[in-house]
Amino acid sequence: MLARIINWSTGVKGEATAIHFPDVRRLQFVDFGCWPCDRIYVCNTICNDLLKLCNGLNLDTLDTILTHLHADHYNLTSLTTYCCLLNGSRINTMNIYIPGIPHEPPEVRNIALGLLVLHEIVLKLVAEGVGATLDSIIKLFNIYCKKTPNITLLYRGDVVDIDGGTKIRVVWPPKKFPQKLRKRELRKLRKRYSEVLEALRKVCGSGSNESACKGIDELEEIVKMLGDELEKYQERKEHITISLESNLAKYLLLLPTTYLPPLDVYYYYPLFFEYLRSKSELMMALLRISDALNDFSLILEYHHYYDNKRSKVLIVIPGDNSDDVLNYVGCLEGKPVGGSARDVVFLRGAHHGTHYGEYLSLFKPGVTWLSEYKPEHSQYRLEYWSNTCTNPRLVITARNAVKTEIEIDNPSTWKVHVYR
């Protein structure tokens, strides 16, 4: 078997995908989160699945890929430590891959970094409100996996070699944000930044956590420090792997923690969401930050190479990017040679199946997974059904399945299991 893909439905919205490459003993979690969490389902189903999955594998490499730095993509990451507890002595390498922040133009970079600083302030306030501490996901891996992960910022043009003939091509985000999208992106970033800053000043003005709120007064200084650090990393020609002691690492991958997994999900998350419901300013701030940073999501293509040079696309994961970005990337990529769309085994819908753009029309997926499941929350894009003509073709949604498994024997042969 070349690869096995598992997708879980985790709640109103969220992404949780695991990809196992048995021949090279490598397991990847490509996002692992929910918003809000169905704690009974998560603990009874996902935890049990992870126990079975990790207990039965002989792993050498464990990867965590976060396409988007938002809670519904990463707040279940603590559960992946099961794979360390069950395979800890055999796992030799741990990697965390996250989207890089474009370093040009400086204004886009600085507002994006400012939103990450404000995100830390929000999480500190939430953690204080529920009696939790604020730690990095990195710390969880250090504790439970007894290993220090490599943290890599991914940009367009980077390639991650999975081994065994499979490589990940990074399509987005770019190091330099394109001129065509800048005006629109800056308008959105400025608007969201102002809204979040106003909401936090209102919360902090009511006498909340002084140490957390201190970051608002130091915002410009912190953003400059992070910007200078990011610029130094940009000078490297190879993958940008950031130091665990760096200031950038401090403001990335943050997770309020109270209990050991899976008790954190079962006991802590209900408190987390209940507290947010009572603090509308903080809830709004988190949602605005997420919306602002959507267009820096990773777009990933998994290519399997054969005959030395030729390749076929196995998997496409477009993150939470907007229609505008997906349309721009579609033009950037251009039509494949011959003009027809490329066959791909598996496509995960953009922004949980609620976004669609020209880039996705470049592919003819055999299996598509859409994770959003509340009709009153948002609607799936009909293009996932109407814009392709492959046969056989299967679109699976979280409204009619709680889990899917796709076993890829080769780029032309695969099996699908649907769990209701």
Query: Taking the domains of the chain in order of start, what are their residue ranges?
Result: 3-419
Q: Would the pLDDT of 59 be above 80?
A: yes
* Least confident interval from 10-14, 301-305, 393-397: 10-14
**94-136 pLDDT tens trace:** 999 999 999 889 999 999 999 988 988 888 887 777 777 777 7
Q: Which range, 30-34, 243-247, 282-286, 364-368, has the best average confidence (pLDDT)? A: 364-368
Tokens of 132: 């939790």
pLDDT at residue 390 greater than cutoff 50: no
What pLDDT is stored for residue 261 in this prediction?
54
Query: Checking phi first, is residue 322 left (phi over 0); if not, alpha (psi -120 to 50) or beta?
Result: beta
Q: What is the pLDDT of residue 78?
A: 80
| pLDDT tens digits, one per residue of 252-299 | 777 655 545 555 555 556 666 677 777 778 888 888 888 889 999 999
Instruction: Report the pLDDT value the prediction gives residue 387, as an integer from 0 to 100.
Output: 63
pLDDT on residue 5: 97
pTM for this predicted structure: 0.92
